[in-house]
Protein backbone atom coordinates (compact mmCIF):
# COMPACT_ATOMS: atom_id res chain seq x y z
CA UNK A 1 0.00 0.00 0.00
CA UNK A 2 1.09 3.48 -0.74
CA UNK A 3 0.97 6.61 1.39
CA UNK A 4 -2.29 8.40 1.99
CA UNK A 5 -2.53 11.75 0.30
CA UNK A 6 -3.61 14.81 2.20
CA UNK A 7 -7.08 15.89 1.28
CA UNK A 8 -7.19 19.39 -0.21
CA UNK A 9 -9.72 21.52 1.65
CA UNK A 10 -11.09 24.33 -0.45
CA UNK A 11 -12.88 27.10 1.34
CA UNK A 12 -15.15 29.61 -0.33
CA UNK A 13 -14.28 33.23 0.33
CA UNK A 14 -16.81 35.03 2.49
CA UNK A 15 -18.63 37.65 0.39
CA UNK A 16 -18.20 41.19 1.64
CA UNK A 17 -20.88 43.85 1.73
CA UNK A 18 -20.02 46.79 -0.56
CA UNK A 19 -19.36 50.22 0.94
CA UNK A 20 -19.01 52.22 -2.31
CA UNK A 21 -21.81 52.28 -4.89
CA UNK A 22 -22.65 53.46 -8.42
CA UNK A 23 -24.49 56.78 -8.69
CA UNK A 24 -28.02 56.45 -10.12
CA UNK A 25 -28.07 60.14 -11.11
CA UNK A 26 -24.84 60.63 -13.06
CA UNK A 27 -24.03 56.96 -13.68
CA UNK A 28 -20.61 57.29 -12.09
CA UNK A 29 -19.02 53.96 -11.34
CA UNK A 30 -18.12 53.56 -7.65
CA UNK A 31 -18.70 57.25 -6.97
CA UNK A 32 -21.22 57.16 -4.07
CA UNK A 33 -19.59 57.18 -0.66
CA UNK A 34 -21.63 56.80 2.52
CA UNK A 35 -20.30 58.03 5.85
CA UNK A 36 -21.98 56.82 9.02
CA UNK A 37 -21.76 58.99 12.14
CA UNK A 38 -23.11 56.78 14.90
CA UNK A 39 -22.63 59.39 17.64
CA UNK A 40 -25.17 61.80 16.17
CA UNK A 41 -27.04 59.02 14.27
CA UNK A 42 -26.67 60.51 10.82
CA UNK A 43 -25.66 59.06 7.46
CA UNK A 44 -24.17 61.28 4.75
CA UNK A 45 -24.49 60.18 1.12
CA UNK A 46 -22.07 61.90 -1.28
CA UNK A 47 -21.31 61.41 -4.98
CA UNK A 48 -17.74 62.20 -5.96
CA UNK A 49 -18.64 63.06 -9.58
CA UNK A 50 -21.92 64.99 -9.61
CA UNK A 51 -21.60 66.23 -5.99
CA UNK A 52 -25.10 65.07 -4.98
CA UNK A 53 -25.32 65.10 -1.21
CA UNK A 54 -28.02 63.83 1.13
CA UNK A 55 -28.28 63.21 4.85
CA UNK A 56 -30.52 60.64 6.46
CA UNK A 57 -31.25 59.61 10.03
CA UNK A 58 -29.46 56.45 11.05
CA UNK A 59 -30.96 53.58 13.01
CA UNK A 60 -28.65 51.53 15.22
CA UNK A 61 -28.41 48.38 13.10
CA UNK A 62 -28.18 49.95 9.63
CA UNK A 63 -25.13 49.64 7.44
CA UNK A 64 -24.08 51.40 4.23
CA UNK A 65 -26.05 49.00 2.03
CA UNK A 66 -29.29 49.69 3.93
CA UNK A 67 -28.84 53.45 3.69
CA UNK A 68 -28.11 53.29 -0.05
CA UNK A 69 -31.13 51.06 -0.70
CA UNK A 70 -33.49 53.38 1.20
CA UNK A 71 -32.09 56.43 -0.61
CA UNK A 72 -32.40 54.69 -3.98
CA UNK A 73 -36.03 53.76 -3.25
CA UNK A 74 -36.75 57.39 -2.33
CA UNK A 75 -35.18 58.63 -5.59
CA UNK A 76 -37.15 56.14 -7.67
CA UNK A 77 -40.45 57.13 -6.04
CA UNK A 78 -39.67 60.82 -6.66
CA UNK A 79 -38.97 60.19 -10.34
CA UNK A 80 -42.16 58.14 -10.69
CA UNK A 81 -44.17 60.98 -9.13
CA UNK A 82 -42.58 63.48 -11.54
CA UNK A 83 -43.34 61.24 -14.51
CA UNK A 84 -46.98 60.88 -13.42
CA UNK A 85 -47.33 64.67 -13.02
CA UNK A 86 -45.84 65.36 -16.46
CA UNK A 87 -48.10 62.70 -18.00
CA UNK A 88 -51.18 64.26 -16.39
CA UNK A 89 -50.14 67.77 -17.48
CA UNK A 90 -49.61 66.54 -21.06
CA UNK A 91 -53.14 65.08 -21.14
CA UNK A 92 -54.75 68.36 -20.02
Number of domains making up the chain: 1
Residue 52 sits in a domain of what CATH number? 2.20.25.190
- In this predicted model, what pLDDT tens digit does every residue of 8-27 receive, in sequence order? 888 999 888 888 889 888 88
Q: What is the pTM of this model?
A: 0.70
* Contacts by 20-24, CB closer than 8 A, 24 or more apart: 21/64, 21/68, 23/47, 23/49, 23/50, 23/52, 24/72, 24/75
Instruction: Give a yes or no: residue 40 inside a domain.
Output: yes
Q: Could you list the residue range(s) of the whole structural domain that residue 25 is in?
A: 20-79
How far apart are the C-alpha atoms of 76 and 54, rounded to whole Å?
15
- At 43-86, the pLDDT tens digits run 999 998 988 899 999 888 888 999 999 999 998 888 887 776 66
Kindly state whether residue 10 falls inside one of the protein's structural domains: no
Give domain status of residue 14, yes or no: no
Amino acid sequence: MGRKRKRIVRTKPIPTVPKIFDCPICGGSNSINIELDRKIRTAIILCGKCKVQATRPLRTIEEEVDIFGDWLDELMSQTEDLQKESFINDKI
